[in-house]
């Protein structure tokens, strides 16, 4: 895998400091990614899942590589309180999470969800999760389906569950975790076998291109 949550996000996840929707999507990636399993295991082995004191915001992560980010975070950890040692994914960190939903997604039982047609090639299934400020949904794209060009008014976290998609920045395959924000403008295209993704957003998309204003108006209605 080439795309993962960054070390800051993994650290917040292991300490139970992410919202329920993010806990689900990171947990699903964690279960299929040996690299992230190793990093999370290292974080948990230091002292448990709950961080008492850490200065995450002060770290200049953008100028560092993944290994440098991890080393710097380890230096900045002042104290990790003792807590239970159960898996962050099994606990899901937040009580509101319905583990039946998580297991259904993990086992790829996608037919059990209520899919709604957005276009002839794009479908979505909303997941009812009481997570203020976050939206979580499944997206299904037919082979070679093109998503209209857009940017993001906030952050979008995407986990590829089946198939693949690509954009101008790369190709994203099963299990990979992709983060987009206001600095990104792209037009995803599903792979030849289609694509099913789990997407978490904290703000609506903003469609651009020729049809962008019309699509944005339609969504607001």
pLDDT, tens digit, for every residue of 4-54?
999 889 888 888 888 888 888 998 998 889 999 998 888 877 654 444 444
CA distance 76 to 56: 8
Chain centroid offset of residue 108 CA: 17
Return the ∠ at Cα 33 (arms to 31 and 36), rounded to 5°: 95
Instruction: State the DSSP H helix or E strand holding residue 34, giving kind and residue range, or none if neither.
Output: helix 34-47
Same domain, residue pair 15 and 91: yes
Q: What is the CATH number of the domain that holds 153?
A: 2.60.120.10
Q: Do 157 and 124 form a contact (C-beta atoms < 8 A)?
A: no
How many domains are contained in the chain? Answer: 2
* Of residues 9, 49, 51, the one with CA closest to residue 29: 9
As a whole number of Å, the end-to-end CA separation of the chain is: 39
Same domain, residue pair 98 and 116: no
Question: Which band of pLDDT confidence, cut at 50, 70 and 90, is reported for residue 103?
Answer: confident
Domain with 143, as residue range(s), is 109-220
**pLDDT confidence of residue 86:** 38
Chain centroid offset of residue 150 CA: 18
* 1 falls within a domain: no
């Amino acid at each position: 895998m080439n795309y993962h949550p960054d070390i800051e996000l993994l650290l917040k996840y292991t300490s139970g400091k992410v919202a329920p929707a993010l806990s689900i999507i990171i947990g699903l990636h964690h279960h299929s990614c040996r690299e992230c399993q190793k990093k999370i295991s290292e974080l948990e082995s230091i002292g448990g899942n709950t961080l008492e004191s850490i200065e995450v915001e002060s770290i200049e992560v953008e100028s560092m590589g993944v290994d440098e980010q991890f080393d710097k975070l380890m230096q900045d950890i002042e104290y990790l309180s003792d807590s239970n040692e159960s898996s962050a994914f099994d606990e899901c960190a937040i009580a509101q999470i319905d583990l039946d939903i998580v297991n259904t997604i993990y086992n790829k039982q996608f037919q059990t969800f209520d899919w709604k047609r957005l276009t002839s090639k794009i479908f979505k299934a909303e997941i009812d999760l009481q997570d203020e400020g976050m939206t979580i949904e499944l997206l299904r794209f037919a082979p070679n389906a093109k998503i209209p060009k857009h940017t993001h008014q906030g952050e979008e976290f995407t986990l590829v569950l089946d198939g693949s998609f690509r954009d101008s920045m790369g190709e994203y395959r099963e299990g990979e975790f992709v983060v987009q924000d206001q600095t990104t403008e792209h037009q995803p295209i599903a792979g030849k076998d289609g694509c099913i993704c789990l997407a978490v957003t904290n703000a609506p998309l903003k469609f651009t291109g020729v049809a962008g204003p019309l699509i944005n108006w339609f969504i607001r209605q």
